[in-house]
A = this chain, B = another copy of it.
Amino acid sequence: MTTVLEKFEKLKTEHAPGQEVRQKTPAFEELLIGEKLEGRTVDFSHGDVDAFLPTPGAFEEFSDGVHSGGKQAYTVYRGLADLREILSVRLTSFTGAPVNAADNLIITPGTQGALFLSVAATVAAGDKVAIVQPDYFANRKLVEFFEAEMLPVQLDYLGTDKAAGLDLNQLEAAFRDGARVFVFSNPNNPTGAVYSTEEIDAIAALADRYGAMVIVDQLYSRLLYEGTEYQHLRAVGGTGRDNVITIMGPSKTESLSGYRLGVAFGPSSVIERMERLQAIVSLRAAGYNQAVLQTWFSEPDGWMSERIKLHQAIRDDLLTRFRARADVAVRTPQAGSYMFAKLPRLRVSPIDFVKILRHQATVIVTPGSEFSPHTASSIRLNFSQNHAAATGAVERLVTLIERYREARP
């Protein structure tokens, strides 16, 4: 039997986004080269909700929620019924396959809550779960927490721009080896890669063939850049799939992270189990907060396209700055606001470089080791930031890469 201490050893969070302030500062002064670089602090570990403001009307909906009192404070565990009705129509339209409000949808405390519940509702100790590398770090941690076995599937995100780069043979091998759950994010976190229609069709076909459940985290699927096509897995075949759980939420693109709202939609049997678990995990997404979902998929005309345009402009400026150095490899994000840059060999470890960045350049990034054991030399940036501050920060970052770069042989 695994003890509690063993179980939690794998859940360390000190390098997780936003947790940097809780790091014990080691004596790393001796690693430092040169002086600090002046510039406005940029925390690329998450989006800046002061640069990209929450959806207009969100606070007013919350306020109305508070004033409607008990009805809004105490919803059923899966979330207010009226609201699920509204969302089911919008999500049906967005994804292209039907969502039934009564049975197929649960409102959760953030997409993190939805991810936790959906993994818990489908994975038991000893099960095998296919996980993409690199992908959102919580996927791996959830599998480990539930004492399941992870079967990694590589994503060659730097090798192509026509697809996300999933190794479909490896995915099939994982299913053949007994994996009955596959968890992945699309758009991919941390790279911003979007799975091609062919890849999504292939995932659907493999899941059908092997009787597997697929949990797809589509958190960023609304923020698509010019020229990007997006295929919803749940809509492959047209009538909705009973082996797909889709996770979304208004935390990122809509800057509503401070309200902690997410949804999962999928087969009623899984949603039912998720609700039972939510009852003992957190009861429900905060009742008043749920009201904010009224604004979701109902933003003012032009608001989303403007938000996409502004993010695309930042993306392009950062890419230009990274690519000015031939030894930094970065894929063009097709969606979302994550960028994943592979650094050259440095004189210090990647983890120390991340600390040095914070100390000498007031730039906070998330180390690539969080996303896969094979991406330790990469860093993730959430570029949903003030445009000028972000470009300034990446200029300092590139300066420090040069400063700490290992001498060429």
**Is A70 part of the contact surface with B, judged by Cβ < 8 Å?**
yes
Contact A8 B121 (CB under 8 A): yes
- Once bound together, how far apart are the Cα atoms of A54 and B70, in whole Å? 10
CB distance from A159 to the nearest CB of B (A): 30
Contact A276 B18 (CB under 8 A): no
A289 proximity list for chain B (CB < 8 A): 260, 286, 289
**Is A389 part of the contact surface with B, judged by Cβ < 8 Å?**
no
Number of copies: 2
Interface flags for A36-51 (1: CB within 8 Å of B; 0: not) read: 0000000000101110
Contact A22 B76 (CB under 8 A): yes
**Is A98 part of the contact surface with B, judged by Cβ < 8 Å?**
no
| Further pairs besides A54-B66, A74-B258: 9, Cβ < 8 Å | A11-B277, A13-B279, A16-B77, A50-B69, A73-B258, A109-B282, A116-B282, A145-B277, A289-B289
**Is A122 part of the contact surface with B, judged by Cβ < 8 Å?**
yes
- Once bound together, how far apart are the Cα atoms of A7 and B62, in whole Å? 36
A8 proximity list for chain B (CB < 8 A): 121, 273, 276-277
- Once bound together, how far apart are the Cα atoms of A116 and B109, in whole Å? 14
Contact A281 B281 (CB under 8 A): yes
**Is A209 part of the contact surface with B, judged by Cβ < 8 Å?**
no
Contact A280 B123 (CB under 8 A): no
- Once bound together, how far apart are the Cα atoms of A298 and B59, in whole Å? 25
Contact B280 A258 (CB under 8 A): no
**Is A326 part of the contact surface with B, judged by Cβ < 8 Å?**
no
A288 proximity list for chain B (CB < 8 A): 258-259
Contact B276 A13 (CB under 8 A): yes
Query: What number of A residues sit within 8 Å (CB to CB) of B?
Result: 70
**Is A125 part of the contact surface with B, judged by Cβ < 8 Å?**
yes
- Once bound together, how far apart are the Cα atoms of A408 and B77, in whole Å? 41
Taking CB atoms and an 8 Å cut-off, the chain A residues in 257-292 that contact chain B are 257-260, 273, 275-277, 279-289
Nearest B-chain residue to A283, judged by Cβ: B112
Interface flags for A3-19 (1: CB within 8 Å of B; 0: not) read: 11001100111001011
**Is A113 part of the contact surface with B, judged by Cβ < 8 Å?**
yes
**Is A2 part of the contact surface with B, judged by Cβ < 8 Å?**
yes
- Once bound together, how far apart are the Cα atoms of A317 and B70, in whole Å? 24
Contact A74 B13 (CB under 8 A): no
Task: Report if A126-B286 is in contact (Cβ < 8 Å); known contacts: A73-B257, A273-B8.
Answer: no
CB distance from A271 to the nearest CB of B (A): 12
